[in-house]
Chain A
Amino acid sequence: MAGAEGFVESDNAEAIITRIEHKTRKIESLLKQFKPVEALKTALEGTYAMTSDERCKSAHWIVVHRAIMAIKDVDGMLSSLDPEYYDILMKYLYRGLATGDRPTCDQCLRIHEKLTERAGHGCILRFLTDTKLKPISSEDLLNGRNFQMG
């Protein structure tokens, strides 16, 4: 099971933002080459270094969202995705569902169904009970999305 890299202090936020920008460029180029699965893997990598800094969380989300929306073949993507990323992907799917935006929700729901088949209910439970690593920012929660978060 992938170990959590732990929290990164806010004064390293700039370093994270830079890394995310670098990631974004890499993902854009992968998407241009029609490699959405690689793009998603790149997007999910390193997101375990969760920070409490809101900007980093949002930046991470934007990157992952871009990659999620580009996925056409969900089954194929999940077959080649390392099982250690299932839990992180599940967290981002719920983040997507919380946005309320129709295309995002449709895509996230589609992936959620397949991911649950693969990873089981345990995956959902690990998302629900995880108090430490939550990619959702407080604004989304405070804005009263119709979505219960633990």
Chain B
Amino acid sequence: MAVIAVHQFAQCITCHAWSPDQSMVAFCPNNNEVHIYRLVEDKWEKVHVLEKHDQVISGIDWSARSNRIVTASHDRNSYVWNLEGSEWVPTLVILRLNRAALCVQWSPKENKFAVGSGAKTVCICYYEQENNWWVSKLIRKRHDSSVTSVSWHPNNILLATTSTDGKCRVFSTFIKGVDAKDSKKGTSSDLKFGELIVQLDLSSSWTFGVKWSPSGNTLAYVGHNSMIYFVDDVGPSPLAQNVVFRDLPLRDVLFVSEKTVIGVGFDCNPMVFAADERGVWGFIRYLGERKTVSSGSTYGSQFSEAFGKFYGQSKHGVSNDAVETSKTRGAVHDNCINSIIPLGQHGILTRRFSTSGLDGRIVLWDLENEQDLLEL
């Protein structure tokens, strides 16, 4: 089994992040607080509660080297938390947003972070030493709707975004004084802040969960139409692939290697996608156990009843499905998984990762025993 551990922390979790040594986990239990739990002798203990935001926190990221937490909330603010002694001290970052902040991520060098918002803008924040505060630069143009997720390219300058306008875009976030100009890469036009490098219009529905592959050569993102998009050679002539799959849409993805992606979403079960020798991406299998199949249909209890009504006969009707509880379903999460985070060193190969969902669970997964996937 790929599942190492299942922890029920709250009724519902919006986002989570791990400390650099993975001894602590920070998450938002669908309110305006961040709870930090530490594993003490096999038991999880709540060690900190970060209370500063006024509304639900939609994104948390914990930087691995500098040990800073950044939070973004629907209250249009972002705080950077520094551990001083045994207390987490918040620093307000004035994002200059007039809509909710929806997602946040530290850049690979941890000197910047990006916040996607419902104001159709992306905020790139960096630390100004002279004034001892975080400054936010906005990418105002281009997005026609809310920015649902952001992802940094390994070079610390390119940022990919997805939006509810169905498009995935790559921007340059070069900031003078913060980023060093690399004379090898790109022309001077590429290095202008807010410059749109690539716009991918592959989906007709909302897009979520964009991620770069470890080398930065490939992008993956999902659409709300049960499709996942892979784009190789991101640049002037990208190679896009649309992969269609059977079930409910995904919400987030993770590259576990250059050629393998795990997607999580409304099916409550991680899905594995991989590219074969020719570079063609396809669905491999589910990671967890599938829901139990019954009476010829593969649907859970709610769907059976709904489809029963739809087809106007009690063919599926009030079968055994109706009394099936979530415990017998076999899936580890029983509500939408909305976040997948790698555990351990951020390297070329990720063996372990964690998922959190609307069911309030954080589940830890390990691909150690999934021989067929490791050989991909």
Residue from the list B226, B298, B310, B311 in contact with A126, Cβ < 8 A = B226
Mask, B16-48, CB within 8 Å of A = 1, is: 000000000000000000000000000000000
Find the residue from B204, B247, B249, B311 having the highest chain A CB count within 10 A. Answer: B204
Docked-complex contact B204 and A131, CB < 8 angstroms: yes
By a CB distance below 8 angstroms, the chain B residues around A120 are 226, 245-247
User: Given the complex of chains A and B, what is the CA–CA distance between A90 and B310 in angstroms?
Assistant: 16
Docked-complex contact A129 and B225, CB < 8 angstroms: yes
User: Given the complex of chains A and B, what is the CA–CA distance between A1 and B244 in angstroms?
Assistant: 7
- What range describes how many residues of A lie at the interface? 10 to 19
- Tell me if A30 is interfacial: C-beta within 8 Å of chain B: no
- Tell me if A113 is interfacial: C-beta within 8 Å of chain B: yes
Main secondary structure of the interface of B (DSSP, over half): loop
By a CB distance below 8 angstroms, the chain B residues around A117 are 296-298
Docked-complex contact A130 and B297, CB < 8 angstroms: no
User: Given the complex of chains A and B, what is the CA–CA distance between A121 and B302 in angstroms?
Assistant: 14
Main secondary structure of the interface of A (DSSP, over half): helix
Chain A positions near chain B (C-beta within 8 angstroms): 1, 87, 109, 113, 116-117, 119-123, 125-126, 128-132
* 20 other A-B residue contacts (CB within 8 Å) besides A117-B297, A125-B224, A125-B225: A109-B311, A113-B307, A117-B296, A119-B246, A120-B245, A120-B247, A122-B227, A122-B248, A122-B249, A123-B226, A125-B226, A126-B226, A126-B244, A128-B225, A129-B204, A129-B205, A129-B206, A129-B225, A130-B225, A131-B204
Chain B positions near chain A (C-beta within 8 angstroms): 204-206, 223-227, 242-249, 296-298, 307, 310-312
30 contacting pairs across A/B (C-beta < 8 A): A1-B244, A109-B311, A109-B312, A113-B311, A116-B307, A117-B296, A117-B298, A119-B246, A120-B245, A120-B246, A121-B226, A121-B246, A122-B226, A122-B227, A122-B247, A122-B248, A122-B249, A123-B226, A123-B246, A125-B224, A125-B225, A125-B226, A126-B225, A126-B244, A129-B204, A129-B206, A129-B225, A130-B204, A130-B225, A131-B205
